[in-house]
Amino acid sequence: MTTQAAGHLLPVLVAAPILVACLLVAVGPRLPRLAVDVLATGTALGVTGAAALLLVVTDPGRTVTWFGGWTPVHRVSVGIPFVADSVSAGIALLVGGLMSCALLYSWRYFASVEGHFHALMLFFLAGMEGFALSGDVFDMFVFFEVMGAAAYALTGFKVEDESAVEGGLNFGIVNSLGAYFSLTGIGILYARVGQLGLPQLGDALAHKPPDALVVAAFVLIVTGFLVKSAMVPFHFWLADAHAVAPAPVCVLFSGVMVELGLYGTARVFWVAFGETIPLDDIRRTFLILGATTAVLGAVMCFTQRHLKRLLAYSTISHVGLFIIGFACLDPDGTAGAALYVLGHAGVKGALFLIVGVLLDRYGTVDEQDLYGRAKGQRLMPWLFFASALGLAGLPPFGTALGKSLIEDATLVHGFDWGPALFVLVSAVTAGAVLRAGLRIYFGLGPEPQQEDADKTRGDEEPDTPRLTRVPLTMIVPIVVLVLGGLAAGVVPHGGQAVAHAAERLIDGKGYIDQALTNAPPTPLHPEPKADWTTLGVLLGVVSTLLAFGFAALGLWAQKLPQPLQVVSAAFRPLMRVLHHIHSGHVGDYVAWLFVGVAVLAGLVGIPLR
Amino acid sequence: MNVYAYFVAGWLLIVGGYGIVRSRHMVHAIVSLAVAQAGTYVLLLAVGYQNNVTAPVFGSTEKPTKQVVDPVVQAMTLTDIVVSATVTALLLALAVQVNKRQGTVDPDELAALEG
Amino acid sequence: MSRRVRLVVFLIGGGAVAALLAIAFLSMPHFGRSEHLYRDLAVPAAVKHVTANVVSSVNFDQRGMDTFGEETILIASVVGTAALLRPAKEETERRVPDTGRTLGATRLVGYLMLPVSLVIGLDVVLHGHVTPGGGFQGGVVLATGLHLLYVSGSYPALDRLRPLELFDIVDGVGAATFAAVGLAGIAFAGSFLANVVSFGTFGALFSAGTVPILNVAVGMEVFAGIVAILAKFLDQDITVVKEGDQ
C-alpha cells in the first residue's frame, strides 16, 4: 500500500463510525435489534481491521496526511494534519478491539433505546480514534470533547439508577472544566506562536528557553488530558463514573479512554515542548505525581466493597504506574508503559465484563452481598482469577512484561524505590480483586457483618433483564480480552516492536520534520532490549504471591494476631478521612482540580525560575 | 492597559470555578461551568484582535486585504460555543434526571456516591 | 468536606491558578497588535479558494476537520439527550389538551414572525460563504424561529409542525452529508475534505467550492438537532408523568 493510500485510512477511521452512527440516528428506531447490533459491531470490527492495516503499513515509520490538501509551505500550514506513528496506530487498534468486544457483549440483551446506545458507542469510537491520530492541538481538543459528550451520556445511560445520573453529572462537569483549562492553554500558546499544529508548535518553540508563558501553556494544555487520565488530584470523578456506567462502557473507560489522556500528554510534550522544557523537570514532576496516584489508588481500592468502584480505583492506581513509565522519558520506560497498558486493557476489561455478568445474574455488585452466591460456576471463576493474576503482574501476561521494563528503567534513572513501589501497588490492587473473587466464587472468609457507613454500597440497576444463563455473546468477549492481555506478553518480537514504537513516540524532531517537509524517518536502534529478564519474572511472581497475601489479609482480618490488629486499627482514622474526601460532591472535585493545576505548575515551573 | 482583556478572561475562568465550588443547585453549577467557558471565548477573541481594522469578510466594497482581525480565532470560538451549548444540554438532562431520582439538586444533599 | 474546608481548598488552588495566569498574561503579546501569523496565511488561502467570508473558509475548508468534529459533538449530544431524557420505566407520556391562553397580540406577532425567522435563517445558512453567518448560526435561527409556535401559541401547535422522526432523519442525513463530502474529497481530489466542485466567482452565491454544501449540511443538522433537544426537554416538562399521576 502506498503512503498516500495509507494516509487516506486515517480519516476513514473517524468518518466511517460517524457515518454509521448517523444512519442509526436517522433510522435506528425502525430497524430490528439484530440489524442494529450487526451494523454497530460490524463497524467496530471494520475499524479494527483498518487500524490493523494502518499499523502494519506504518510500522516502523509514520503516516502523515494534511486535510483539504493544505500541505505545508515553508514549514507552516493553514490545515490540520493527522500523523500516525506505531503508537497512535496501536492505540487506534486497541480502541477498535475493545469497542468490538464491548458491542459484542451488549448484543441483544442490553437495552439500546432505539439504537441510541449503539450510536453513542460509535460516536465514542470516532472521538477516540480522532484524538489518537490528530496532529493539531485544537483538533485534539475537539475530539476530546467528542469523546466527552458521548462518554457523559453513556455514563448516565441507566437513568433509573440514581447513582448513574449523579456520576455522569460529576464526570461531565469536572472533565469539561479540565477541557476548558486546556483551551485556555491553547489560546495562550497560539498568541505566542500563531499556529495550532503540533509540528509547527514544536518548530517555533525548539531550543528557546521556556519562559512563564510557555510553562503556563504546557501546564494548562495537559491539565485537561490529565483530568481525563485521572491523575491525582484530578482523579475523583473516575470512581464515580466507572462505578455507575454500564459494564461494556467501563471496559472502554478503563481500557483505553483514561490511557488516551496520558497519550495526549506524552504526544503534546514530545512534539511541541520536548525541545524547550528540560527533561529532568518533567521527569521529576511526573514521578512524584505518578507515585502519589499509584499509592492513593491502591489504598482506596483495597477498602471498597462496591466491585466496580474497586476496579475503578485499581485503574487509577495503574494509571499512576503508567505515568511513572512515561516519566522515565526514555524508550524503555515508554515501551514498558505501552505494554502495561495493553495487558491492563485486556485483564481490566475482562474483569468489568465479569462483574457485569454478576450484576445481571444476581442484581448487585456489592462484594459482601455477593458472598458465596456464585459458588459452583464453571467458566467464570477461571476467567476471573486469570484476570486477577494478570492484574498482579504474573508472567507471561503483558502486564508483567510492561512492569519489568518500567522497573528497569526506573533503576537506570536512580529511582531505587521503583521496583518496590510497582510490586506493592500491583499486589495490593490485585489482592483486593482476589479477595473479592474468593469471597464471591468460593465463599471463603467469615460471613461479612459490619456496615461501613462511609463506603458506597454496591447497589446498582442491572444492565439487562435478569439472566439465568450467561449467553455466548457475553462469554466470548471476556475470553478474547483475557487472551489479549496474555498475548501482549507472549507474542514473539512483540516487545521489540513496542520498543521501536516507543522510540518513534519520543522522536519529536523526527515527527516535526516528517510532517512539515516529508523528510524520511530516522533509523531506529537495531536491538532494543525489550524482553523478559530474570529480575522481571521474579518480581512478577513476588507480586502475585504478595497479592494472595493481601487477599488473605482482607478475608481473615479478624483472625490476625493482636499486635497486627492494633496496627490496622491505627490506619482506620486515615482511611476514614480519605473516604470522606472522596465525597461525591462536585464542588470538592473542582476545588481539588484548581489545587492540582497549581501543584502541576509549581512542580514544573518553580525549578525553572 | 495592553493585556487587560486577558485578565478578564482569567477572571471569568476562576469565578466560574468558584461558582461550582460554592453552588447549592446543580443548574447553577452547570451555568457556572458555562461562565468559565465564556472566559475562553474572551481569551481567544482578544488574542486575535487588531486595532483599527475590519472584519474578515469581503464583498463588492471590501476588497480582499490582510488588514483584518484574525479569522482563525473566530472559527475556534464558534467551535467552542457549539461545544458549550451541547455539553450544557447534556449536563442539564442529567440534572433533570438527578432531580427525579433523588428529589433534590443540591450537591450537599446528593448522597449516592460517597467513599 | 464541609463547606468551609472546601472554600479554603479552593482559595488556595484558585489563588495559585490566578497567579499562574497573571504571570502568563504579562508575557502575552499586547492586545490589538498587528502581527498575526495565521491570519496572514488564512486570508490569501480563502481568496485562493474564492471564499469571501474568510471565517467560513477557515471553518469549512482550511480547518474543516475541526468542524467535522464539532458537528459530531452536536449530533452525539442530541442522541445523548434523547437517551437521557427518555421516560423511565415508571413513567408515561400523556396527551396535552389544546387549551392555550395567550394574548391575541402575542399570537399575531408570533405567527407573523415565524415565516420571517425561517426565511432569515435560510438566508444566513445559504449565504454563509459570502456574508457573516453559516450553517451553525442559521440553524439556530431556524430552530428558535420554529419555537415561536410554542411561545406564542401552544404546545400541541408546535407538536403538529414538528414530526420528530422526520427531524431525526434530517439530523442524521445532515451530519452524514458532511462525512460523505469529506470522503468524496478522498475519491476525487486526493485528500479528505478537499474541494470537489468548481470555485465560481468571488462573492456570488455559487462560489467557494464545497463550503456552501457543507454549510447547508450543517444547517440541516443544527436545525434538526436543536429542535430535537428542545423537544426532549419540553416533553420532560409537559408530557412525561409518573404512571398513576395526571
Using a CB–CB cutoff of 8 Å, tell me whether B107 touches chain A.
yes
Tell me whether the omega of the peptide bond preceding residue C97 falls within 30 degrees of 0, making it cis.
no
Q: CA-to-CA distance for A388 and A385, rounded, in angstroms?
A: 5
Look at A14 and A526; give whichever has higher pLDDT: A14
Question: Are residues C219 and C117 located together in one domain of the fold?
Answer: yes
Q: What is the mean pLDDT of residues A80-97?
A: 94
Do C70 and C15 lie in one domain? The reply is no
pLDDT at residue C107 is higher than 90: no
Chain A residues whose beta carbon lies within 8 Å of the beta carbon of residue C35: 194
Smallest CA–CA distance from C203 into chain B, residue: B59
When pLDDT is averaged across residues B13-21 and rounded to a whole number, the result is 95
Coil, helix or strand at residue C243? strand
Q: Strand pairing of A62-66 and A81-85? A: antiparallel
CA B62 to chain C, closest CA, distance in angstroms equals 10
Q: How close B67 comes to chain A (CA, Å)?
A: 16
Contacts of C6 in chain A (CB under 8 A): 585, 587-588, 591
pLDDT at A315: 96
Mean pLDDT of C39-68: 92
* Confidence band of A591 (pLDDT split at 50, 70, 90): very high
Chains A & C: contacts with CB separation below 8 Å: 238
CA angle A389, A393, A398 (to 5 degrees): 105
User: Which class for C239: exposed (0-12), middle (13-18), buried (19 or more C-beta within 10 A)?
Assistant: middle
Is the pLDDT at A456 greater than 60, yes or no?
Answer: yes
**Residue A278: which pLDDT band, with cuts at 50, 70 and 90?**
very high
| Beta carbons of A581 and A588 less than 8 angstroms apart | yes
State whether B90 and C81 contact (CB < 8 Å): yes
Residue A451's pLDDT is what?
59
List, for residues C82-102, the tens digit of each pLDDT value.
999 988 877 777 777 666 677
Interface contact B87-A148, CB threshold 8 A: yes
Across the interface, whether the CB atoms of B75 and C55 are under 8 A apart is answered yes
Q: What share of chain C has pLDDT > 90, as a percent?
A: 58
Residue C45 maps to a domain: no
Contact C88 A25 (CB under 8 A): no
Is the Cβ–Cβ distance between C125 and C216 less than 8 Å?
yes
CA distance C71 to chain A (A): 9
For a pLDDT cut of 90, what percent of chain A falls above it?
Answer: 63
pLDDT over 90 at C239, yes or no: no
Asked if residue A480 has pLDDT above 90, the reply is yes
Average pLDDT for residues A507-519, to the nearest whole number? Answer: 90
Does residue A523 have a pLDDT over 70? yes
Is the CA virtual torsion A123, A124, A129, A130 positive or negative?
positive
Cell for B24?
447549592
**CB A95 within 8 Å of CB A128:** yes
B105 CA to chain C: closest CA distance, Å? Answer: 16
- pLDDT at position A252 is 95
Place of cell 457549539: B82
Q: Looking at residue A192, what is its pLDDT?
A: 93
For residue C40, being part of any structural domain is answered with no
Cβ <8 Å between A78 and C41? yes
Q: Over 60: is that where the pLDDT of A454 sits?
A: no
C172 lies in the same domain as C235: yes
Does C234 fall in a domain? Answer: yes
- CA C223 to mean position of chain CA atoms: 7
Kindly list the residues from chain A whose CB atom is less than 8 angstroms away from the CB atom of residue B111.
Answer: 584
Encode pLDDT of A322-333 as tens digits: 999 999 999 989
Domain-located, residue A18: no
Q: Are C124 and C227 members of one domain? A: yes
Instruction: Select from B18, B66, B90 the Cβ nearest to the Cβ of C80.
Output: B90
SS3 of chain C: helix, strand, coil, percent, to 5? 65, 5, 30
Is A593 an interface residue toward B (CB < 8 Å)?
yes
Q: Do C123 and C152 belong together in one domain?
A: yes
Tell me if A595 and C13 make a contact (CB, 8 A cut-off): yes
CB contact A280 to B (< 8 Å): no
Query: A329-343, A500-514, C150-164, C182-196: which has the minimum mean pLDDT?
Result: C150-164
Cα C112 to the center of its chain, rounded Å? 24
pLDDT band of residue A260 (cuts 50, 70, 90) is very high
A258-279 burial, b at 16+ Cβ within 10 Å, e below that, comes to: bbbbbbbbbbbbbbbbbbbbee
- Quick: pLDDT tens for A370-417: 888 888 788 889 999 999 999 999 988 989 999 999 998 998 888 888
Same domain, C60 and C173: yes
**Structural domain contains residue A45:** no
What is the rounded distance in angstroms from the CA atom of residue C178 to the CA atom of residue A206?
A: 37
Three-state secondary structure call for residue A107: coil
Which residues 198-217 in chain A show a CB within 8 A of chain C? Answer: 211-213, 216-217
* C30 and C55 part of one domain: no
Instruction: Grade residue A453 by pLDDT with cuts at 50, 70 and 90.
Output: low
- Whether residue C189 is contained in a domain is answered as yes
User: Residue A609 above 80 pLDDT?
Assistant: no
C246 pLDDT higher than 60 = no
Residue whose C-alpha is closest to residue C220's, from C192, C190, C187, C181? C181
Tell me which range, A86-100, A110-124, B62-76, is most confidently predicted by mean pLDDT: A86-100
Q: How much is the average pLDDT of B29-56?
A: 94
Amino acid B1: pLDDT: 62
Task: Tell me the residue range of the domain where A189 lies.
Answer: 137-449+457-490+525-608
Q: How many helices (H) and strands (E) does chain B have?
A: 3, 0
Measured CA to CA, the distance from residue A361 to residue A464 in angstroms comes to: 9
Residue pointed to by grid coordinates 516487545: A495
C84 to B90: CB separation less than 8 angstroms, yes or no: yes
Residue A450 has pLDDT above 70, yes or no: no
Q: What is the mean pLDDT of chain A?
A: 90
* Residues of the domain holding C20: 1-35
Scanning the structure block, which residue is given the C-alpha cell 507471561?
A396
What number is the average pLDDT over the span C54-77? 94
pLDDT of residue C99: 66
Query: pLDDT band at residue A369, thresholds of 50, 70 and 90?
Result: confident
In chain A, the residue whose alpha carbon lies closest to the alpha carbon of B78 is A142
Q: Is residue C46, in this structure, part of any structural domain at all?
A: no
Partner residue facing B86 (CB), from C38, C77, C236: C77
pLDDT at A489: 85
- Verify whether the Cβ–Cβ distance C43 to B68 is below 8 Å: yes
pLDDT for the residue numbered A521? 83
Q: CA angle at residue A550 from A549 to A553, to 5 degrees?
A: 90
**CA distance to partner chain B, nearest, from residue A588 (Å):** 7
pLDDT at res. A289: 96
Please list every residue in chain C whose beta carbon sits closer than 8 Å to the beta carbon of residue B87. 73, 77
| Pick from A78, A77, A57, A76: nearest CA to A10 | A57
The answer for residues whose C-beta is within 8 angstroms of residue A210's C-beta and 6 or more apart is: A218, A273, A276, A277, A608
Beta-bridged to residue A73, according to DSSP, are A76
Interface of A with C in 537-596 (CB under 8 A): 580-581, 583, 585, 587-588, 590-596
- When mean pLDDT is compared over A40-44, A491-495, B110-114, C240-244, the highest value belongs to A40-44
Structural domains of chain C, count: 2
Question: Using 50, 70 and 90 to split pLDDT, how confident is the model at A452?
Answer: low
Q: What is the pLDDT of residue C98?
A: 66
Q: B50 to chain C nearest CA, in Å?
A: 4
From chain A residues 428-487, the ones with a CB under 8 A of any chain B CB are 452, 454-456
Q: Residue A66: beta bridge partners?
A: A81
ipTM of the complex model: 0.96
Whether domain B4-102 has CATH 3.40.1410.10: the reply is no
Q: How far apart are the first and last CA of chain C?
A: 41
Tell me which DSSP letter residue A82 carries.
Answer: E
- How many structural domains are present in chain A? 1
Minimum Cα–Cα distance from A137: chain B residue: B76
Is A195 part of a structural domain of the chain? yes
Q: Does B3 touch chain A (CB under 8 A)?
A: no
pLDDT band at B113 (very low <50, low <70, confident <90, very high): confident
Regarding whether C182 and C128 lie in a shared domain, the answer is: yes
- In tens, the pLDDT along A342-367 reads 999 999 999 999 999 999 888 888 88
Note whether C30 and C88 are same-domain residues.
Answer: no
C238 versus A53: which is more confidently predicted?
A: A53
| Residue range B28-47: mean pLDDT, rounded | 95
Rounded mean pLDDT of C202-218? Answer: 88
Q: Under a CB-based contact definition with an 8 Å cutoff, are residues C138 and C125 in contact?
A: yes
Whether residue C190 is predicted with pLDDT greater than 70 in this model: the reply is: yes
| Cα–Cα distance, C63 to C71 (Å, whole number) | 13
Name which of C6, C22, C134 is nearest B21 (Cβ-Cβ).
C6
- Are C116 and C2 part of one and the same domain? no
Which 3-state string (H, E, C) describes A63-123? EEEEHHHCCCECCECCCCEEEEEHHHHHHHHHHHHHHHHHHHHCCCCCCCCCCHHHHHHHH
